[in-house]
Amino acid sequence: QKHLIRLSVLSSLSSILDTMPGATTGTVLISDPLNFWGGKRVKPMQEKNTEPVFEPATGKCCRLVRYMVPCGAEEVDEAIKSAHAAYLQWRKMAGMERARVMLEAARIIRERREKIAKLEVINNGKSITEALVDIDVAWQCIEYYAGLAGTLAGQHIQLPGGSFAYTRREPLGVCVGIGAWNYPFQIASWKSAPALACGNAMVFKPSPMTPVTAVILAEIYKEAGVPDGLFCVVQGGADTGTLLCQHPKVAKVSFTGSVPTGKKVMEMSAKGVKQVTLELGGKSPLLIFKDCELENAVKGALMANFLTQGEVCCNGTRVYVQREIMPQFLEKVVKRTKAIPVGDPLLDGTRMGALISKPHLEKVLGFVSQAKKEGAKVLCGGEPIVPSDPNLKGGYFMAPCVLDNCRDDMTCVKEEIFGPVMSVLPFDTEEEVIGRANNTTFGLASGVFTRDISRAHRVAENLEAGTCFINNYNISPVEVPFGGYKMSGFGRENGQVTIEYYSQLKTVVVEMGDVDSLF
């Protein structure tokens, strides 16, 4: 029995999430407004330039929310003014006061994790198993920065004659977060948690393809006790993003997405001399040496390529395997790849759900076709899948793919595919493979599997990437910084250092004697 869930505009957060246990793929309908400022959901001023939202698992115009209505200039201005008013209250609160509110938000998310995860799956297409982890990472992030909120402090500097100076770590003001569609709720949390801990407000724009769960986070923050307007959500695409980046009351922009869009965000923000954090694309190398523990290396390669249907910016999609163990590696990795259960993302047994959209699925399949034309050999997968469930026949599913016989000059090795496609390449020596691994404009992540501890740290030092995983891959605890080198961006998310990207230092100089004037 499938339950059609109709939610009125007046529905509360709890009633929306309370419907989730009975929901199944292709059955959920939400009619609530998806904008949020001033402490409440806000209807669009006018419904024009609407964009259809599709449910990845069914391929149908999403019953969850049929259309995304972008915010115009007046709505963006309203949201930012609401955020600024809240910021003026929030910045005056002690760090421990802010921490208590944030801890309550983390508690609410933890309590409702299963329901939020299910809503995320319906809108995004990833498996429920992964979505539950994403929601856990979200509340852990908020909890972590709540712990740091009360520790923010300056420095005292003694000067001659009893004079002194001190520094104050102060918030920036209204920050803008622009999210991606692969981790909608988690990215909203990653950006808002450090911003709020430092005393800022945030206006967040989710991807137009995944507009649903950011507003849930906004309602949770309100329920936890933040001032109305402290975390606002505006829906929209590139035009709305432009309005946010160019608004004079915005102090900082944090963007997650592609390199071309990141360049535009940086250019627009530069006109107002706004601080920018960019978390952009990647084509990360994974180096597997012959002395590795092979079973772990195979599992690491799968984690490096097939999480969230391969739609992960830091994936290790260039898998360099030392020539002596290449046959054994390929045999094991192909066997395990073929065994990945692909299908309804709401089923507990599913390990790979649907890609985000039909155009994106076609783009990924196009990369596989191009790879074959350039001489790569498809060892498994790389074709569309039609699940047996008739409700899923239009979904954006594909079989995870392993490519052999790859070369560094192939398109599949040079360009970010953002899908479940692993390119495997042989290498002979450490020096050779480091040079090949670094021969890219990207620098988001990297990985190495080896039992040689000296080699592990030597390789980590020489790889040009913001993260290097040793004997594992795609492990991102909220305590450690995440961000890129080169064209993968700059600035960091997570970890203690991110406090510096959401605050500014003021120096106060105090003279205790008479002024020694030259005039």
pLDDT on residue 32: 82
Kindly give the pairing relationship between strand 28-30 and strand 35-37: unpaired
> Which pLDDT does position 15 carry in this prediction?
58
pLDDT of residue 266: 98
- Contact between residue 104 and residue 142 where contact means Cβ atoms under 8 Å apart: no
Residues tagged active-site:
279
User: Which stretches of the chain drop beneath a pLDDT of 70?
Assistant: 1-16, 26-29, 62-66
Nearest-angstrom CA–CA distance, 148 and 140: 13
pLDDT at 2: 31
Q: Tell me the whole-structure pTM to 2 decimals.
A: 0.95
Question: Computed from CA positions of residues 382, 384, 389, 395, in that sequence, does the dihedral angle turn out positive or negative?
Answer: positive
**Both tokens assigned to 148:** 């740091």
Q: What is the pLDDT of residue 140?
A: 98
Residue 20: the pLDDT is: 79
What is the per-residue pLDDT for 274?
A: 98
3-state SS assignment for residue 45:
coil
164-171 and 503-510 beta bridge pairing: antiparallel
pLDDT of 8: 32
Q: How would DSSP label each residue in 308-329?
A: GGG--TT---EEEEEGGGHHHH
